[in-house]
Structure 1
Amino acid sequence: MVDTPPARPAPDHPRPTFARPRWACLDGPWDFAEGRPGDTPRDWDWDCTIEVPFPPESAASGLGLERCDHPRYRRTFTLGSDIEAPGPGERLLLHCEGVDHEARVWVDGQFVGRHEGGYTPFTLDITDALGEGPGHEVVIAATDLARDLEQPRGKQDWHDQPHAIWYGRSSGIWRSVWLEVVPATRLASVAWTTLDTFGRLRGDIRIEGWAEDDDLAVEASFAAAGIDLGTVRVGATASVVEVGARLGRAAHADTPLLYWTPDNPMLIDVRLRLVRGDEVLDEVAGYTGLRTIGVRGGTVELNGVAVFSRLVLEQAYWPDTHFTAPSLEALRAEAELIKGMGFNGLRIHQVSADPRFLRTCDEVGLMVWADVPAAYVHTPRSTALNSRTLTELVERDRNHPSVVAWVPYNESWGVFEVADSAQQQAAVRAAYWLAKALDPSRLAIGNDGWENVAGDLVGVHDYTHDPAVLAARYGSPDAVSATLSGVRPGGKLLLVDAPTPGTPAVLSEFGGVSLPREADSWGYGAVPDASALLGKVAGLVAKVGAASGLVGFCWTQLTDCLQEQNGLAWPDRTPKAPLGALREAIGAQPPPISLL
């Protein structure tokens, strides 16, 4: 068997850190119907078509419905044409990257499974449901009740029309649906963790179909910039195999610096193989990055070096496609726009990121804070759904080095009595500790902005447009401490409990300067033209930058979104001022010289 250095998966693969070559996307025209509670496929009249994965409320779907609580979908696929037919000992998997909020699935008339949770993917083994012949039918019934405030909705409005800070809905299928042929005994998942600043990497690899009497082993091959870094082989004595490698010290004089940072977003390409003797049973391509993030001495350190975060609030909303990106090219352009504006990261706000967008963030060098989309009431069900969403997001995204922080709750959304309710405070603390239990290698903020309960950082939201006020509140460590010890104007409590001494503070929402086009739009403060916009941005950022008492900021927001027109770019992603001028206003340094 001749080896070559592992290569990264194709750019369009829906799960870029765990990819096999035998897959097929089912996006495109599907039959569509509106259903009702408790119905089944025999009840539906397929009277129109929809363009998947665009939600039925969006113009790009071809429907543009105002409200669709029960969207129903059907399409056929052909084995040997749409996708290679599984052979003996192989299975056919159906992957759904996002179906909001609950999905029920049938294949060839047989019910094959369900999933609850609109912001996370699910996978079903549909092999045993396949009927005779090459042609087969998939039916997906979604339920997404517009008025259900217990389910995670993020920025999706529960009113008939978008209002205030909430936008149009993305019900039903809103991310890709795809098929994959896999071996029955296969690699099921991998979780990569950088253990220290010396580049020790650990992979926890789960095997589907492992048997105690089977002589299996896992091989992991590593490369960077096309340079082979070696292969590790570990016998599979259990269904989870731990693989370790020390990659931080270059094996060759021409090996580039291997650690991932925004200025040097080096990625480690990985090929995993499941072998029995010399026989390769399964092979998966992916990548990760050598990157540690943590808090020490009142600072945030990336790979052991203090880092100041210049983030932007990313709503990930497009006028014609809602929370679904218009294209793969749009995802890359989004990340490159953020980088070009001078930010070194973003907060993906109240929506889960498309994994292909995270791949671009990995490749261009952007640090990502990942929100869990909020419910708007607090009940045992909403708490359970929050925990499930967080758990599934960590499992999906933990191999992306760009993701540096988990945010289970935004402000007090869904826990509106958290300042006084012991139960709601317990929900936030539990979410923080769940994030740390699932993934101790990243930062976690229990609830970000107002009534902070638990977190590795204290997140503060402050939309004052007076630079002198910002300087007085955050201009030095002593000023930040004094600000956190009080109550903000309007009676907003900043801290429920005093944080551990030395806990850093981030101005995790501020700015919101509006250059409006529409009479009914709004922002946190309007300016008349692009020149005034640049002056306002520069004046505010100058008071909260690296010389302040903060360890980072997050500017609100990247783009205008419907009536909320306080973006640095228009809804079509055209910047409101020249990129170079925006970059200078954000306080970014000139782009670094490439090390490659």
Structure 2
Amino acid sequence: MNNIPRPEYPRPNFVRKNWLNLNGTWDFEFDDENLGEKEKWFISHSFSKKIVVPFCYESEMSGINDKAPHDYIWYQKRFAVPESWKNETIKINFGAVDYIAKVWVNGDYIGSHIGGYTPFSFNITNSLKWDGKEEIVVKVEDLSYNPKQARGKQTWIGKPFACWYTKTTGIWQTVWLEPVNEAHIEKVKLTPDLDNGNLKVHTFMTHEAVGNKLKVTIKFEEIDIVETDFHCFDNEMNFVLNLLNKEFEWKIKLWSPEEPNLYDIYFELIDDEGKILDSVKSYFGVRKVSTKNGKFLLNNRPYYQKLILDQGYFPGSLLTPPSEEAIINDIKMTKILGYNGARKHQKVEDPLYLYWCDKLGLLVWGEMASFYEFTNEAANQYTREWQEIIDRDYNHPSIVVWTPFNESWGVPSVLVDKNQQSYTVSLVNMIRSTDSTRLVVSNDGWEHTDTDLCTIHDYRESGKEFLKIYEDKSEIINDAPANKFIFAEGYSYNNQPILITEYGGIAFSQTEGWGYGNKVTNEEAFLKRLDEITTAIKSIDYIVGYCYTQLTDVEQEMNGLLTYDRKFKIDPEKIKAINDRIV
């Protein structure tokens, strides 16, 4: 797979041995008149273009590099399924397709999916011909000017503006095939319980798995922790496994950014004759997130979060990381700068990014791409997409916070509108009911409703002014320090931890570009402003963390600590010193 773009295994926390990567060159077509379905392009069509999947047509790495809006596009690829898979169930998996995808295999309609940031799969077994000439066709609909559609930082006016960028249309994460037995494991939900030293496991299997045996093995490096098996009396099973082991000083290994300890867990589905029907490898980290007396706690201890806002855009490939190396590099640079976490802004990040945050040790605030016009239909779809996000990412220990809304985007009248307030509360509670292991921020920046953290965005430039404005906590929580009230009408502060989750945004560039406040043109001026405002934030005892805007420049936005092509603008050791300094 060395010549295939993005060749690495695309689902690193649920790994099977056998798979086939379908990335690479596909046939491609714009369908601006939306005639493809009527003319049955899924049966026969002479495609006039080529595209490199998984890169969107707007990107250079796709081979097309067309920034114009095209709301309807088509893909086609011919492929061969390995003959050794013939007695298996064959699934096709899409990492993410923005926004509505319809799929045909050999002319048969297979299914559709709505939502641009989450994975989906189809069983294509009955449509295969096994002649070495299988054909998949995908139609994508992504309305360029629709603000009701979750789009995050993708422009909806046809061109980039302010802090919104080139849009991404179509396939932008890996497409792959995998063979499974009819009796197989569909997913696992892993919930470490630090206080009781155990792991709660919830397995989801096909109905054909009932009656077989599920073997579970847990290892930490080379140390055996658990080896046990269960009779599959149902296709869903819940059980608890003891993790305490005398080999460790404190009987258990905890996960944190400083010590990102991970346990490996193996699942084998075995029939009565001892044949392995399915084998999956995953991993987990034992960590706990909570709050107490206005503090954020990691593993029951106060933990000061020093976050960087990360948009996850790349030159040449936009939302799609160009390589695994690029993902690792972004995480390592974040840590080199002295940050212990990233707020992934307006993007559900590639699973490989989360895997490497788990491995290397970086906190993550998970955030969904916003929609921008509130309607019942938009809200319902947004909720469905959030359910899929949590389903995909539940097992990643690096994720500590979910952020369903940012700066009232999608709920522009939430300050006073009871319907929009109720919707934010309902979404927060849905997330809590699905995932009680993480904190939820109702509306990052201001106009909070029911929230676990009180987060504030403030881009003022002066550290002295910041200290003066934020001197009195009681005034801040009932006021509008950045010209936006912290809480929506009818909601109030309840001793939640307070963090400044956007600040800085200092535009540092010799060229034209967008940033917050007055641009600086040299390192000395940049460091002076960054030091003053960061030190001011750290000097206020009731503020328990911050998030600097931002890691890299993105297109016209020039306020990154790195350029768009990932070069440090400032000596990273000097920025790390500011972050590390105890005030």
Q: Does the 8 Å contact 2:462/2:529 carry over to 1?
A: no
**Deviation of the 1:76 alpha carbon:** 1.1
Q: Does the 8 Å contact 2:148/2:372 carry over to 1?
A: yes
Match of 1:501 among 494, 500, 505: 494
> For residues 114 and 456 of structure 2, what CA distance do their matches in structure 1 show?
32
**Deviation of the 1:485 alpha carbon:** 1.1
Which residue is 1:119 aligned to? 117
**Deviation of the 1:71 alpha carbon:** 1.6
**Deviation of the 1:238 alpha carbon:** 1.6
Match of 1:563 among 556, 559, 575: 556
> For residues 161 and 91 of structure 1, what CA distance do their matches in structure 2 show?
44
Which residue is 2:220 aligned to? 224
> For residues 305 and 489 of structure 1, what CA distance do their matches in structure 2 show?
31
- Secondary structure, aligned partner of 1:542: helix
Is 289-298 or 41-50 further displaced after alignment? 41-50
Structure 1 residues 116 and 489, CA, compared in 2 at 3 Å: closer, same or farther? closer
- Secondary structure, aligned partner of 2:538: coil
**Deviation of the 1:256 alpha carbon:** 8.7
> For residues 253 and 350 of structure 1, what CA distance do their matches in structure 2 show?
40
Match of 2:8 among 5, 9, 12: 12
Which residue is 2:571 aligned to? 578
**Deviation of the 1:588 alpha carbon:** 6.2
Give the paired residue count.
Answer: 569
Which residue is 2:56 aligned to? 55
> For residues 545 and 361 of structure 2, what CA distance do their matches in structure 1 show?
16
Structure 2: runs of 5 or more not aligned = 1-5
Q: Does the 8 Å contact 1:516/1:522 carry over to 2?
A: no
Is 220-229 or 569-578 further displaced after alignment? 220-229
For 2:75, give the aligned amino acid: Y
Q: Does the 8 Å contact 2:226/2:241 carry over to 1?
A: no
Q: Kindly indicate whether residue 308 of structure 2 is the aligned counterpart of residue 312 of structure 1.
A: yes
> For residues 460 and 550 of structure 1, what CA distance do their matches in structure 2 show?
10
Which residue is 1:37 aligned to? 34
For 2:296, give the aligned amino acid: V
Is 275-284 or 574-583 further displaced after alignment? 275-284
- Secondary structure, aligned partner of 1:188: strand
Q: Does the 8 Å contact 1:32/1:49 carry over to 2?
A: yes
- Secondary structure, aligned partner of 1:410: coil
Which residue is 1:411 aligned to? 407
Which residue is 2:247 aligned to? 252
Q: Does the 8 Å contact 2:182/2:208 carry over to 1?
A: no
Q: Kindly indicate whether residue 242 of structure 2 is the aligned counterpart of residue 208 of structure 1.
A: no
**Deviation of the 1:153 alpha carbon:** 0.3
**Deviation of the 1:257 alpha carbon:** 5.6
Q: Kindly indicate whether residue 271 of structure 2 is the aligned counterpart of residue 273 of structure 1.
A: no
> For residues 149 and 581 of structure 2, what CA distance do their matches in structure 1 show?
39
**Paired residues for 1:82-121 under 5 Å:** 85-88=84-87, 90-121=88-119
**Deviation of the 1:501 alpha carbon:** 2.6
**Deviation of the 1:546 alpha carbon:** 7.3
- Secondary structure, aligned partner of 2:379: helix
**Deviation of the 1:533 alpha carbon:** 1.6
> For residues 378 and 130 of structure 2, what CA distance do their matches in structure 1 show?
42
Which residue is 1:594 aligned to? none
Q: Kindly indicate whether residue 255 of structure 2 is the aligned counterpart of residue 263 of structure 1.
A: no
Q: Kindly indicate whether residue 42 of structure 2 is the aligned counterpart of residue 46 of structure 1.
A: no
Deviations 1:126-171 (A, max 9, x none): 1011124122011111010101111100000012210011000110
Q: Does the 8 Å contact 1:11/1:356 carry over to 2?
A: no
**Deviation of the 1:258 alpha carbon:** 1.0
> For residues 282 and 7 of structure 2, what CA distance do their matches in structure 1 show?
11
> For residues 11 and 51 of structure 1, what CA distance do their matches in structure 2 show?
13
> For residues 469 and 547 of structure 1, what CA distance do their matches in structure 2 show?
13
Which residue is 2:138 aligned to? 140
> For residues 72 and 85 of structure 1, what CA distance do their matches in structure 2 show?
30
Which residue is 2:434 aligned to? 438
**Deviation of the 1:537 alpha carbon:** 1.5
For 2:141, give the aligned amino acid: T
> For residues 155 and 445 of structure 1, what CA distance do their matches in structure 2 show?
19
Q: Kindly indicate whether residue 526 of structure 2 is the aligned counterpart of residue 524 of structure 1.
A: no
For 1:252, give the aligned amino acid: E
Q: Kindly indicate whether residue 529 of structure 2 is the aligned counterpart of residue 536 of structure 1.
A: yes
Match of 2:80 among 64, 78, 89: 78
Is 441-450 or 224-233 further displaced after alignment? 224-233
Q: Kindly indicate whether residue 277 of structure 2 is the aligned counterpart of residue 285 of structure 1.
A: no
C-alpha RMSD of matched pairs (Å)? 1.9
> For residues 251 and 210 of structure 1, what CA distance do their matches in structure 2 show?
39
**Paired residues for 1:81-480 under 5 Å:** 85-88=84-87, 90-210=88-208, 214-247=210-243, 249-253=244-248, 258-277=253-272, 278-474=274-470, 479-480=472-473
- Secondary structure, aligned partner of 2:334: helix
Q: Does the 8 Å contact 1:312/1:346 carry over to 2?
A: yes
Is 194-203 or 437-446 further displaced after alignment? 194-203
**Deviation of the 1:489 alpha carbon:** 5.2
Deviations 1:204-235 (A, max 9, x none): 10011246xx4223222111123221213222
- Secondary structure, aligned partner of 2:270: strand
For 2:219, give the aligned amino acid: A
For 1:449, give the aligned amino acid: G
Structure 1 residues 489 and 77, CA, compared in 2 at 3 Å: closer, same or farther? closer
For 1:74, give the aligned amino acid: Q
Task: Give % identity.
Answer: 31
Structure 1: runs of 5 or more not aligned = 1-9, 590-596
**Deviation of the 1:543 alpha carbon:** 1.5
**Deviation of the 1:443 alpha carbon:** 0.6
Q: Does the 8 Å contact 1:232/1:245 carry over to 2?
A: no
Structure 1 residues 49 and 435, CA, compared in 2 at 3 Å: closer, same or farther? same
Structure 1 residues 97 and 581, CA, compared in 2 at 3 Å: closer, same or farther? same
Structure 1 residues 253 and 446, CA, compared in 2 at 3 Å: closer, same or farther? closer
> For residues 245 and 466 of structure 2, what CA distance do their matches in structure 1 show?
45
TM-score w.r.t. the length of structure 1 is: 0.92
> For residues 539 and 396 of structure 2, what CA distance do their matches in structure 1 show?
26
Q: Does the 8 Å contact 1:538/1:587 carry over to 2?
A: no
Q: Kindly indicate whether residue 21 of structure 2 is the aligned counterpart of residue 25 of structure 1.
A: yes
> For residues 486 and 72 of structure 1, what CA distance do their matches in structure 2 show?
51
> For residues 23 and 66 of structure 2, what CA distance do their matches in structure 1 show?
19
- Secondary structure, aligned partner of 1:428: helix
Structure 1 residues 18 and 55, CA, compared in 2 at 3 Å: closer, same or farther? same
Deviations 1:367-405 (A, max 9, x none): 100111100100011101210111001000111100111
Deviations 1:427-481 (A, max 9, x none): 1111100110110110111211121112101111110111022223445xxx333
Structure 1 residues 489 and 156, CA, compared in 2 at 3 Å: closer, same or farther? closer
Is 54-63 or 254-263 further displaced after alignment? 254-263
Deviations 1:316-351 (A, max 9, x none): 011211111111110111111111111000110001
**Deviation of the 1:47 alpha carbon:** 0.3
> For residues 119 and 542 of structure 2, what CA distance do their matches in structure 1 show?
39
- Secondary structure, aligned partner of 1:584: helix
